[in-house]
């Protein structure tokens, strides 16, 4: 006891009487030093610096010239190695010099034995480490390191991995380092689960690690592969674990987008199944139009193969005799389509085809999505203005029950546009897409040929391939600025209502064989050229252009009569 307290006492004396005064002394010394340096005038300092720079530049230029002439003469010696080393340590992005260095090293490989080569390359790695310390984002240094590591007779991959770890812990967005790391992992055969643990560690220390979430998404399918049925790259058990991990992340910091991106990746991976959604046959027009569920390459329908989701084909004339009932069958991509007797078309019934628009998040079981929605709703109560959370809730609601959640979805979009006004155009387009999907889901294809989506703040049109058979479309009172090229898919369209929009361009109203009537009151059509596409619609009879700037043009009536001779009822 006594000895112990004696020690403590001695410690105390040491501390009070020696260490503290010593620290004070050091501090005073530093201050004095600092003060003395200050005494020099700035002009003097500048002059000194300039001289120093000039001297360095001279040395640099001389070394560079020496290197170049040596390379020209095909000299691969130690001196060249020294010179390039000096130059590269001050400027690691000098690609020519790295190339020269590689030539020298490859030459040395041929004249030295393996142990010597190993030593040379180890020295090279050491040198590279010092370069990376100066500039951790130098492409030249990382690239050269990759080259050296691949040639090293006895590589030490563990050391390389830990180098990457250190670099990434300083800056996890160092993509050269990620590239190198991937190479190391590949070359060394590090098991994928070790790598997954690595991302665990990164994410555990700071959730805001884009690169590690992303890296994770590339590793998981390798480690926990899943059968093609249901199509999902990772197995369900692991998926549930991932949900939990990522939820921890966004509950901890709801404004950190890296975790939300990963969450979206986890939730939505399904591709929409390729199938025929609609076939339309017109014997009068000798045409077949086929709509696919997603863009496909079909070369028989067009002369040059191109990706599209709708194709038309000229029908060879079919002779129908009373003795031969003339049913038409299509066998396309393994789907047999048989238009009902008398009818001229066949379509998948979108009302019963629940999967139609759910592809984005459809792989998961409903119960899983339901519980994800609950978690997000909880978070949203705490953070009502968090845009990531709102957007994820919208997507989950759409995956679960697009029509049932329509009202909530619209309200959430409204909030999103307010809290994230910079992206309000994106949200408007996304909302338009969902509104169109809902309207299509509500249609019963078999009977309804009218598609009405007026007064819904639409800013864009999509899924027009689903409307192949529609004869009447009402787009009034939206915020549309154009009728896009996909509009040409509405092959059966007879009446188009688009009053009260901001339409400037009609490029999609092109070659619509049945179009008879277009209502375009209160839009922004201003020149005759904007109406040019209509000239390709042979049956156009009625055109309403009231309230458009074009009506102010002089002699517009006669010009229109010339452009659109088939129109008999023109309202200006
Ligand atoms: C990513 O993880 C590393 C490793 O733990 C960490 O040091 C780094 O700070 C993280 N990156 C960010 C942006 O937080
Ligand atoms: C995590 O990384 C982000 C982005 O670099 C940083 O803003 C944040 O402060 C870090 N958080 C912690 C706890 O280190
Ligand atoms: C579709 O066609 C394009 C252009 O010819 C081609 O680049 C692409 O690979 C094709 N896709 C498929 C799935 O065949
Ligand atoms: C189209 O929508 C507008 C606006 O809702 C409406 O006034 C008009 O009657 C609709 N047209 C038809 C044919 O229903
Ligand atoms: C259209 O936008 C207005 C103004 O932002 C909003 O009040 C209205 O509810 C929206 N209508 C629909 C159907 O979303
Ligand atoms: C277009 O807007 C005007 C004025 O707001 C309104 O009176 C008219 O009913 C609207 N037309 C359609 C088809 O919605």
Q: Is residue 233 in some structural domain?
A: no
Tens-digit pLDDT profile for residues 343-385 = 455 555 544 454 555 544 444 567 777 888 888 898 888 888 8
Give the dihedral of Cα atoms 386, 389, 391, 396; nearest 10 deg: -160
Mean pLDDT, residues 533-537? 93
Q: Is residue 36 in some structural domain?
A: no
Tens-digit pLDDT profile for residues 129-183 = 988 888 888 889 999 999 999 998 888 888 888 888 888 778 766 778 877 887 8
| Distance (Å) from CA 485 to ligand 3 centroid | 21
Same domain, 339 and 373: no
pLDDT at position 284, please?
65
Mean pLDDT rounded to a whole number for the chain: 77
pLDDT above 70 coverage of the chain, percent = 71
**Ligand of minimum distance to the alpha carbon of 297:** 3
Same domain, 183 and 57: yes
The number of C-alpha atoms within 13 Å of 369 and in the hemisphere containing its C-beta is: 21
pLDDT at position 454, please?
95
Q: How many domains are there within the chain?
A: 4
Domain, as residue range, for 407: 363-433
Distance CA 264, CA 250 (A): 12
Does residue 468 have a pLDDT over 50?
A: yes
Q: Is residue 419 in some structural domain?
A: yes
pLDDT at position 234, please?
63
pLDDT at position 32, please?
46
Same domain, 415 and 497: no
pLDDT at position 333, please?
43
End-to-end CA distance of the chain: 109
pLDDT at position 231, please?
47
Residue nearest atom 7 in ligand 6 by C-alpha distance: 500
Q: Which residues of 217-248 are buried (b: 16+ CB within 10 A; e: fewer)?
A: bebbbeebebeeeeebbbeeebbeebbebbbe
CATH code, domain with 409: 1.25.40
**Ligand of minimum distance to the alpha carbon of 474:** 4
Does residue 430 have a pLDDT over 70?
A: yes
Mean pLDDT, residues 200-209? 70
Same domain, 56 and 186: yes
Q: Is residue 537 in some structural domain?
A: yes
Same domain, 320 and 398: no
Does residue 248 have a pLDDT over 70?
A: yes
The number of C-alpha atoms within 13 Å of 264 and in the hemisphere containing its C-beta is: 14
pLDDT band with cut points at 50, 70 and 90 for residue 233: low
Same domain, 515 and 563: yes
Mean pLDDT, residues 106-135? 90
Tens-digit pLDDT profile for residues 477-509 = 999 999 988 888 888 899 999 999 999 999 889
Mean pLDDT, residues 226-240? 59
Distances (CA, A) of 90 to 57, 83, 180: 11, 11, 22
Distance CA 442, CA 351 (A): 6
Same domain, 424 and 459: no
pLDDT at position 495, please?
96
Residue nearest atom 12 in ligand 3 by C-alpha distance: 297
Q: What atom of ligand 2 comes closest to residue 253's alpha carbon? A: 11
From the CB of 454, is ligand 4 less than 6 Å away?
Answer: yes
| Distance (Å) from CA 456 to ligand 6 centroid | 14
pLDDT at position 324, please?
38
pLDDT at position 264, please?
75
Same domain, 58 and 166: yes
Q: What atom of ligand 4 comes closest to residue 474's alpha carbon? A: 1
Q: Is residue 210 in some structural domain?
A: no
Decide if 126 contacts 167 (C-beta within 8 A): no
From 394, 416, 428, 457, the mutation candidate for ligand 5 (largest count of ligand atoms within 8 A of CB) is 457
Same domain, 478 and 551: yes
pLDDT at position 207, please?
64
Asked which of 77-81, 317-321, 382-386, 519-523 is least confident by mean pLDDT, the reply is: 317-321
Please identify, among 163, 190, 217, the residue that sits at the C-terminal boundary of a domain. Answer: 190
Q: Is residue 287 in some structural domain?
A: yes
From 499, 501, 503, the mutation candidate for ligand 6 (largest count of ligand atoms within 8 A of CB) is 499
pLDDT at position 171, please?
76
Tokens of 478: 């939206």
CATH code, domain with 133: 1.25.40.120
Q: Is residue 504 in some structural domain?
A: yes
Tens-digit pLDDT profile for residues 330-343 = 444 444 444 444 44
Q: Is residue 542 in some structural domain?
A: yes
pTM: 0.62
Tens-digit pLDDT profile for residues 251-281 = 777 777 777 777 877 776 555 566 666 777 6
Same domain, 547 and 503: yes
Same domain, 81 and 122: yes
Residue nearest atom 2 in ligand 1 by C-alpha distance: 202
> Tokens 């790259």, residue?
233
| Distance (Å) from CA 91 to ligand 5 centroid | 58
Q: Which residue has the higher pLDDT, 401 or 506?
A: 506
Mean pLDDT, residues 173-197? 78
Please identify, among 433, 457, 474, the residue that sits at the C-terminal boundary of a domain. Answer: 433
> What helix, strand, coil percent values describe the chain, rounded to 5?
55, 10, 35
Please identify, among 351, 380, 410, the residue that sits at the C-terminal boundary of a domain. Answer: 351
Same domain, 382 and 315: no
Q: DSSP assignment, residue 342?
A: T
**Ligand of minimum distance to the alpha carbon of 306:** 3
Mean pLDDT, residues 97-101? 91
From the CB of 223, is ligand 5 less than 6 Å away?
Answer: no
Tokens of 484: 């896009």
């Amino acid at each position: 006891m006594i000895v112990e307290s004696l020690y403590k006492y001695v410690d105390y004396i040491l501390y009070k009487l020696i260490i503290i005064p010593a620290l004070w002394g050091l501090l005073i010394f530093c201050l004095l030093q600092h003060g003395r340096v200050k005494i020099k005038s700035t002009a003097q300092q500048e002059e000194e610096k300039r001289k120093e720079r000039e001297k360095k530049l001279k040395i640099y230029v001389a070394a560079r010239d020496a290197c170049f002439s040596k390379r020209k003469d095909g000299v691969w010696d130690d001196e060249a190695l020294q010179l390039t080393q000096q130059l590269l340590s001050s400027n690691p992005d000098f690609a020519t010099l790295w190339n020269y260095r590689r030539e020298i090293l490859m030459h040395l490989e041929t004249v030295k034995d393996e142990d010597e080569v190993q030593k040379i390359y180890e020295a090279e790695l050491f040198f590279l480490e010092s370069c990376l310390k100066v500039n951790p984002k130098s492409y030249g240094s990382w690239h050269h390191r990759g080259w050296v590591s691949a040639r090293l007779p006895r590589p030490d991959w563990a050391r390389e991995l830990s180098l990457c770890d250190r670099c990434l812990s300083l800056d996890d967005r160092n993509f050269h380092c990620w590239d190198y790391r991937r190479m190391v992992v590949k070359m060394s055969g590090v098991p994928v689960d070790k790598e997954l643990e690595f991302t665990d560690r990164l994410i555990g220390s700071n959730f805001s690690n884009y690169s590690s979430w992303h890296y994770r998404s590339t590793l998981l399918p390798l480690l926990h592969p899943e059968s093609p049925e249901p199509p999902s790259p990772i197995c369900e058990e692991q998926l549930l674990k991932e949900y939990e991990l990522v939820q921890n992340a966004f509950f901890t910091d709801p404004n950190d987008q890296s975790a939300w991106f990963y969450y979206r990746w986890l939730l939505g991976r399904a591709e929409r199944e390729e199938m025929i959604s609609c076939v339309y046959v017109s014997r009068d027009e000798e045409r077949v139009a086929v709509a696919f569920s997603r863009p496909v390459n079909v070369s028989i329908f067009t002369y040059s193969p191109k990706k599209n989701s709708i194709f038309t084909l000229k029908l060879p004339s079919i002779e129908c005799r009373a003795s031969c009932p003339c049913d038409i069958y299509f066998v396309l991509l393994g789907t047999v389509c048989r238009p009902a007797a008398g009818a001229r078309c066949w379509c998948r019934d979108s009302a019963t085809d629940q999967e139609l628009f759910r592809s984005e998040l459809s792989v998961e079981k409903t119960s899983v999505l339901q519980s994800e929605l609950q978690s997000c709703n909880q978070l949203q109560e705490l953070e009502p203005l968090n845009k990531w959370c709102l957007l994820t809730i919208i997507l989950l609601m759409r995956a679960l029950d697009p029509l049932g959640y329509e009202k909530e979805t619209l309200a959430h979009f409204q909030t999103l546009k307010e809290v994230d006004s910079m992206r309000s155009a994106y949200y408007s387009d996304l909302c338009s897409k969902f509104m169109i999907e809902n309207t299509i889901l509500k249609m019963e294809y078999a009977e309804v040929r009218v598609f009405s989506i007026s007064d819904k703040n639409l800013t864009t049109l999509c899924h027009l391939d689903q409307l192949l058979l529609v004869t009447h479309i009402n787009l009034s009172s939206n915020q549309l600025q154009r009728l896009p090229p996909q509009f040409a898919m509405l092959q059966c369209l007879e009446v188009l209502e688009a009053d009260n929009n901001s339409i400037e361009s009609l490029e999609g109203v092109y070659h619509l064989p049945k179009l008879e009537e277009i209502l375009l009151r209160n839009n922004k059509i201003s020149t005759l050229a904007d109406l040019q596409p209509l000239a390709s619609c042979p049956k156009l009879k009625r055109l309403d252009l009231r309230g458009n700037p074009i009506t102010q043009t002089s002699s517009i009536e006669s010009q229109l009569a010339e452009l659109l001779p088939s129109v008999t009822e023109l309202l200006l």
